[in-house]
A = this chain, B = another copy of it.
Amino acid sequence: MGVVVPLDERPVPDEAGIGPLIELVAPGMERVNAFILSRTGSDVAMIPEVANHLISSGGKRLRPMLTLATAILSGYSGDGDVKLAASVEFMHTATLLHDDVVDGSEMRRGKLAARMLWGNEASVLVGDFLLGQAFKMMVEVGSLEALRILADAAAVIAEGEVMQLAAAKNTATTEDDYLAVVRGKTAALFAAACEVGPVIADRPKAEQAAARSYGMNLGIAFQLVDDALDYGGREAKLGKKVGDDFREGKITLPVVLAYRRGSAEERAFWKRTLEDGRIEDGDLAEAIRLLAKHGAIDATLERARHYGAMARDALALFGDRPAAKALLDVVGFVTARAH
């Protein structure tokens, strides 16, 4: 799991982190994991090979855990939550397979990306297969409302990715533009994963909306912390490989802020490296220096804590049930995490 680097001097309020969530959903996650394994099966051998390469590569499975937790929070009894949780993870996996093709990424979770081993073709098609399997599982649950929410998320995720593609390498991207990308590419699935819990438990609309709001804001916080970590987080000395976003010309919030706060000369630097893609030795170090100079990483993490606070407040409706407490702790985990 790596080391958790405190991102702020103030004591982290939720040092319990992700532990209570893991404990809360452990029995369900065993079934989710078995289900995931069974639904990557195919007579076409390449499908389980490619799918399991990524699925078994040690992702945290945060999204399906959120679905199980919001179902528990809603007093759900049934097995629809397990199938929806597996669907959510399949949608996420399909997105990663396609993203790696779109970004030309070589690594994923510390292993070679599937596309490096089986090619872009297999990554595109196995992603499509997982998306099809995800929809099959959702249909089995039989909730049209949950289907609507997840189908909507699928379209919005793709829309966010296209938006990012169009915004990529464009240093004129504003913070609002970028937040729209984040809502699409990351937060929409967190929101849907959390909303379907109360939906299948037939809870009132207010609780469905609260769970959705929790997920949406948690997802935004998650992505902003990710963006900060890609430049090494606040201290740029984690063991993690930094600079992937920089090398891929991705305009993320730290860059948006540093660009806007920077001098004409500094803007020319960001244009040369990110827009024109002319990156020379030492440019990543210079980028990190500029981000630090303008407090762009701190500001990004401050923004993440803002969305984290919104996620916490959305949960207030659920009182102090143990599931609500575990979900609160996740906010602390997300805003204080390092991979």
Interface residues of A (CB under 8 A from B): 42, 44-47, 98, 101-102, 120-122, 124-126, 128-129, 131-133, 135-136, 138-140, 142, 144, 147-148, 151-159, 161-163, 165-166
Contact across chains for B135 and A154 when beta carbons are under 8 A apart: yes
Cβ of A124: which chain B residues have Cβ within 8 Å of it?
Answer: 98, 101-102, 124
Cβ of A138: which chain B residues have Cβ within 8 Å of it?
Answer: 151
Contact across chains for A126 and B158 when beta carbons are under 8 A apart: yes
Cβ of A148: which chain B residues have Cβ within 8 Å of it?
Answer: 136, 139-140
Contact across chains for A121 and B44 when beta carbons are under 8 A apart: no
Contact across chains for B125 and A98 when beta carbons are under 8 A apart: yes
User: Taking chain A's interface residues, is the majority helix, strand, or loop, or is none over half, making it mixed?
Assistant: helix
Among B120, B129, B140, B161, point to the contact of A155 (Cβ < 8 A). Answer: B129
A33–B280 alpha-carbon span in the complex (Å): 50
Q: Decide: A159 near B121, CB < 8 A? Known: A135-B135, A136-B151, A151-B132.
A: no
Top 5 closest A-B pairs, CB basis?
A: A132-B155, A132-B154, A129-B158, A135-B151, A128-B158
Among B101, B120, B139, point to the contact of A147 (Cβ < 8 A). Answer: B139
